[in-house]
A = this chain, B = another copy of it.
Amino acid sequence: MTSVKKIVVLKGDYIGPEIMTAGLSVLDAATRNEAFSYELIDAPFGGDGIDRAGDPLPQSTIDVSKQADAVLLSAIGGPKWDNAPRRPEQGLLEIRSKLNLFANIRPTKVTQAQIDRSPLKPQYVENTDFVIVRELTSGAYFGKPRKLEAHQAIDTMYYSEEEVTRIMHQGFKMAQKRNKHVTIVDKSNVLATSKFWRKIANEVGKSYPDVTIDYYYVDAMTMAIMSKPATFDVVIIPNLFGDILSDEAAQITGSIGQIPSMSVGESGPNLYEPIHGSAPDIAGQGIANPISMVNTVAMMLTESFDEKKIADKITAAVDYIIENHYVTPDMGGKMTTDEVTQKMVDYIKKYE
Partner-B contacts on A (CB < 8 A): 77, 87, 89, 93, 119-121, 124, 140-141, 143, 146-148, 150-161, 187, 189-193, 195-197, 218-220, 222-223, 226-227, 240-241, 243-248, 250-252, 256, 277
Contact = CB atoms under 8 A, between A and B. Distances in A.
Stoichiometry, as copies per complex, reads 2
A159 B148 CA distance: 10
B219 A243 contact: yes
Given A148-B192, A223-B256, 19 more contacts: A87-B189, A120-B226, A148-B195, A152-B159, A153-B192, A153-B195, A153-B196, A156-B157, A157-B157, A187-B240, A218-B243, A219-B244, A220-B277, A222-B247, A222-B248, A223-B248, A226-B252, A227-B251, A244-B244
A195 to B, nearest CB: 6
Nearest to A200: B153
A45 to B, nearest CB: 16
Contact of A226 (B219, B220, B226): B226
Contacts of A250: 223
A212 B115 CA distance: 35
Chain A: interface secondary structure?
helix
In order of increasing CB-CB distance, the 9 nearest A-B pairs are: A153-B196, A222-B248, A219-B247, A223-B251, A148-B192, A155-B157, A151-B161, A153-B193, A119-B124
A154 B158 contact: yes
A152 B161 contact: yes
A119 B223 CA distance: 10
Contacts of A222: 222, 244-245, 247-248, 251
Given A124-B119, A240-B187, A243-B187, A193 B248 contact: no
